[in-house]
Structure 1
Amino acid sequence: MGKQMLDVAIIGGGPAGLNAALVLGRARKKIVVIDEGSPRNMVTHASHGFLTRDGVAPSEFRALAKEEISVYPSIAFIKDMAISIEGSDGQFRITTKHGESFISKKILFAVGMKDRPLTIPGLAEVYGKSAFVCPYCDGWELRDEQLVIINKGAELMHAAPLISGWTNQVTICTNGPDQLTDDERKELEQHQVSVFDSVIKQIDSNDGIVEQVVLEDGTVIACRGIFFKPDLVTGSALPQALGCEITEAGMIVTDDFGKTTISGVYSAGDAASKLYQTIAAASMGALTAVAINNELNIETWKRAK
């Protein structure tokens, strides 16, 4: 396949990349999906909010998707990591960690986001088991439990009312200065939400289930779950290396159909959106695939004149 001209090389095999592959395969395009097999959600036991797949393990979701996609012969899956991309619209050369090379007309980055190292002691042990980032994904499992929100500032004032829909037993740890206004502190106080701005010393847990959050000032907060704001970085440095515009938050800048600022290069899923849900990533992958297919078909149509 490396010597053939591909229509699209998809970098990343999560929900966005897989759904894009499905749509493009059905459109009879030659596709390769390059994915190293270490997704961000591998720490979680189950994904939620995806109709017909609610509660499915991320690994099972991928396996089922590949099984469905395998009926379309123009799609190939490569377990590898793309380490360099050169060229321009119509002829990109992708080189992988294992030395394979592919030539493709278009590139789709579905690389997702990755967590920076978790600096709070004990957080890594509970991440994906009783500490989560999205209440839509995991709030139901922690309904009516005593929870800690680790966040601060304006984002905290979004998170606190949101999580109140699942439980009214909420304590906030800002892990340093709270970055709140006086009015925001008063609002939280009116809702009987306690705010602690001492640095978190450690999170104690048993077999992945959080038991308490211990602060540097000696405060101990008992809880059964945590929601926190992750510190994220784009899942690959290749989009920026290729010249794609990146936001300060690390997202790839695209239009409504996944087109980046570089001709012939697209992006979909968590790398290009803050809608960090499996179903949203899959949807964006499908729509971006439609845009790519339309562009390829129009180019072929015009060349045939």
Structure 2
Amino acid sequence: MKTYDCIIIGGGPAGLSGALALGRARKDVLVLDDARPRNAVTHEMHGFLSRDRIKPSEFRRIAKEQISEYPSVEFAAETAVSIEGSDGQFQITTEQGQTYTSRKVLFAIGKKDLPLPIPGLTEVYGKSAFVCPYCDGWELRDQELVIIAKGAGAVHLAKMIPGWSSRYTICTNGPDEMTEEEREELRRHGVSVFDAPIRSILSNDGMVERVELEDGTAVPCTGIFFAPQLTIGSELPASIGCEMKETGSVVTDMLGRTNVPGVYCAGDAGTEMYQAIAAASTGAVAAMSLNGELLMERWNRSNP
């Protein structure tokens, strides 16, 4: 059985960037990806230098086309379901029944959304409802917006959104979970807050028209920003012994190394900063660190 220098689990910006760096470093790499990215619901990627407004599927197509010029990188449309072994000899089994062996592992598994609990939110997600103003605020500039969030998260968004639109309302979908100081701060800035549960979000072909509350209030809007509920894209890091944060992310150092020797992590799985361009950056950094480790191991094995 072939032993790869590295198996990358996940084929988003982090995994693809890592594959490119390792391919250029002449390492044997296998990228396992189930082609179910979190940003599949969105029509465009934003804020990625030279790729602003590109469709996520087109971004991945171009990336794979360019990476394919490096013959040591392989792709498999498979889902990794188990990992065992240790540094230098990891075994990864897929849902499709294949087992692969590698010296190192790079997790680029991202995060995934938990089911959206508000009726009508699924229909507008990625079309007129978003989670990141840096990614999609420009498209909703100067529009009538609703922020769906609670507590400190709602206050944080309330301070950010004016960079794109001064016309916004907070709907907390139940008790606001704010301190009296936070409520007073919002009042001073003229921010309306509704704490009644949301009955539904009304839309037309994915474009939101209003948010209806259980108390009968209707809040008209043409765009929504909401705080998503996320979980890590795979339980494999925890199963191999990676230290995890309370947020569900993998603990890494600045080079993407986890506490498990030979195991790296990049992209959204290791951070709460969910930006495609940031994920690509961490993928490249982790890959270069991983490659340096491989080179030093080979150097130390050789006899001068």
Q: Given the two structures, how large is their TM-score scaled by the length of structure 1?
A: 0.98
Q: Partner of 1:117 in structure 2?
A: 115
Whether 1:37 aligns to 2:4 is: no
Are positions 1:168 and 2:166 aligned together? yes
2:232 alignment counterpart = 234
Map of 1:260-299 to 2, 5 A cutoff?
Answer: 260-299=258-297
- TM-superposed deviation, 1:112: 0.2
- 1:12-59 deviation digits (Å, cap 9, x = unpaired): 000000000000000000000000000000000000001110000000
**1:255 matches 2:253:** yes
- 1:59 — aligned with what? 57
What are the superposed Cα offsets for residues 71-124 of structure 1, whole Å, 9 maximum, x if unpaired? 000000000100111100000011111111111000000000000000100000
**Following superposition, which runs of at least 4 residues in structure 1 exceed 4 angstroms of deviation?**
none
Q: What whole-Å deviation, never above 9, does each CA across 1:168-206 have from its counterpart, x for those lacking one?
A: 001001111111122211111121110011111100000
Q: How many residues align?
A: 303
Question: How does 1:105-254 map onto structure 2 within 5 Å?
Answer: 105-254=103-252
Q: What is the TM-score when the length of structure 2 is the normalising length?
A: 0.99
| 1:250 CA drift (Å) | 0.7
Partner of 2:80: 82
Q: C-alpha displacement at 1:67, in angstroms?
A: 0.6
Q: Secondary structure at the match of 1:145?
A: coil
Consecutive unaligned residues of structure 2, counting only runs of 5 or more, are none
Q: Give the Cα separation in 2 of the matches to 1:55 and 1:134.
A: 15
Give me the whole-angstrom Cα distance separating, in 2, the residues matched to 1:75 and 1:129: 35
Q: Which amino acid aligns with 1:289?
A: A
Question: RMSD in angstroms over aligned alpha carbons?
Answer: 0.7
Inter-partner Cα distance in structure 1 for 2:175 and 2:37 = 32
Q: Counterpart of 1:93 in structure 2: which amino acid?
A: Q
Per mean C-alpha deviation after superposition, the further-off stretch among 289-298 and 179-188 is 179-188
Distance 2:43 2:186 in 1: 32
Structure 2 counterpart of 1:272, one-letter code = G
Q: How many Å separate the matches in 1 of 2:155 and 2:260? A: 36
What residue identity is the alignment partner of 1:100? Q
For 2:84, give the aligned amino acid: E
Q: Give 5+ residue unaligned stretches, structure 1.
A: none
Following superposition, the deviation at residue 153 of structure 1 comes to 1.1
* SS of residue matched to 1:178: coil
Q: 2:94 — aligned with what?
A: 96
Structure 1 residue identity aligned to 2:157: A
Q: Kindly, what percent of the aligned residue pairs are identical?
A: 60
Q: Matched residues in 2 for 1:242 and 1:207: separation?
A: 44
Query: Using the alignment, how far apart are the partners of 2:27 and 2:161 within structure 1?
Result: 43
Rounded Cα–Cα distance in structure 2 between residues aligned with 1:159 and 1:11: 32
- TM-fit CA distance, 1:242: 1.0
Residue 63 of structure 2 is aligned to residue 49 of structure 1: no
Distance in 2 (CA, whole Å) between partners of 1:137 and 1:266 is 26
State the distance in 1 between where 2:166 and 2:301 align: 62
Q: 1:284 deviation in Å?
A: 0.4
